[in-house]
Amino acid sequence: MLSKIQHPNIISLLGCSSNGDTRFIVYELMQNGSLETQLHGPSHGSALTWNMRMNIALDTARGLEYLHEICNPTVIHRDLKSSNILLDANFNAKLCDFGFAIADGSRQE
């Protein structure tokens, strides 16, 4: 499912591979880790200004809007939490971890 989704606020799947029983999934590098780590890690959120927090919230909303309104079929993430929002070098937010996601094929266009 994720290999077909292209949006600036959704993590990009770069590739996958397997070696025997071991499987690998390769995503783009997100230098600032998860929102959870930024909020509850050693810095306790001090690295995030209110403006940055608002931009992270907007990026998250844009990613969800894309999944819910533009994707066909609609994708429901079902596991949105701060650890599933990753931050790139510029603190742009991207949704990740689509392990519980479902595609809703009932939407007709």
Q: Are 75 and 102 in contact (CB under 8 A)?
A: yes
Look up 79 and say whether it is catalytic.
yes
Rounded to whole angstroms, how far apart are CA atoms 14 and 80? 22
59, 79, 97, 104: which is the annotated catalytic residue? 79
Tell me the sheet residues that pair with 74: 104
Tell me the sheet residues that pair with 8: none
Distances (CA, A) of 10 to 46, 53, 75, 101: 25, 17, 12, 13
Active-site residues, by number, are 79
